[in-house]
Amino acid sequence: MNKESSRKRSRRYDQRPARTSRKAGDGESVRLQKVLAAAGYGSRRHCEELITAGRVQVNRKVVTELGVKVDPGSDEVRVDGDVIERPTLRYYVLNKPQGVLSTNSDPDGRIRVVDLIGDSNHLFTIGRLDRSSEGLIIVTNDGDLANKIAHPSYQINKVYTVRVAGNIQREQLAEVRQGVYLSDGKANVESMRVKKRHKQTTELEMVLAEGKNREIRRVLARVGHKVLQLKRIAIGPVRLGELPEGAYRELTVAEVKALKRVTSEPSSPSTRRKYAKRKATTGNAKRKVVKKTQQGRRKKSDDSRSTTPGTTRKSARGAARNSKTRSSKSSSGSSRRKSAKKRNVRKRR
């Protein structure tokens, strides 16, 4: 009974909304940019820019050098003269509708993702979607986790459903899977499959581990298909599920744990090189198999052309074998006759 009750309690705890005031580096010295990112001042790179610009103070002294370590529990850290607080970390998942901006600042005053949540205190989005796209987007004030999810070195998969104009062919799917070169580099797709075909459109499911600007739209345009609808349904272990359009919910403790688990260590360059090499070798092997089959088909077609009209390949092969046996028999018979003549000549002498 005690074990069952503890399991039930742990399940209920994992399904609770994830809120914590515990910051990275409690009781120990950590880098200043990490403390700023954890306080909700953006990614580590943005926090490094704040430091080098002279906007950060530690114990009333301006710090402009990167790599300075502080104790969040005892040192006083200020940004633009304001003491940074230790806010409760919040994690939301939102189903972004079309026409809503992912950015935190818009001079034109258009509606943003953070406006739909209301709690805009140092919140920012992870994995931006363009204005015409919709679907899952994570909103948080945990800058450290946001930086890891967005960084390509961690290889966090994002799953999208895409509806394109026209009927996409196998050759075009293979071209996208092999990688398409864009103006800012090669775009690689982890996986791609056709979900459903209609008369004038095709529904696809695509998985990406990187996040170039409007990557899916540009890749599919390169193979001649315009994107009509683009929706993200998953980021790593977090799924959109049945969340209505424009609605949001807080991530559970289990979901935040899963996100931190997949971002605990970045994928090493050697692993990425091995994956790329394996992908290239499998592609070469497939091309070799196709080449051999094509050569075999050509040979068969040449054999069929060489046969006389009205005869099959099987009968032609049989005739060839019979002619070989006849020629061998005739040659053996003639050799026997020649040897017999020689013996008769010797006897007469």
Catalytic residues: 130
- Residue 26 phi/psi, 5° resolution? -60, 125
What size, in residues, is the chain? 349
Alpha carbons 26 and 29: distance in angstroms, whole number:
8
Three-class HEC string of the chain: CHHHHHHHHHHHHHCCECEECCCCCCCCCEEHHHHHHHCCCCCHHHHHHHHHCCCEEECCEECCCCCCEECCCCCCEEECCEECCCCCEEEEEEEECCCCECCCCCCCCCCEHHHHHCCCCCCEEECCCCCCCEEEEEEECCHHHHHHHHCHHHCCCEEEEEEEECCCCHHHHHHHHHCEEECCEEECCCEEEEEEECCCEEEEEEEECCCCCCHHHHHHHHCCCCEEEEEEEEECCEECCCCCCCCEEECEHHHHHHHHHHCCCCCCHHHHHHHHHHHHHHHHHHHHHHHHHHHHHHHHHHHHHHCCCCCCHHHHHHHHHHHHHHHHHHHHHHHHHHHHHHHHHHHHC
Q: Are 97 and 245 in contact (CB under 8 A)?
A: yes
Cβ burial, residue 230 (10 Å; 0-12/13-18/19+): buried
Side-chain half-sphere CA neighbours of 188 within 13 A: 11
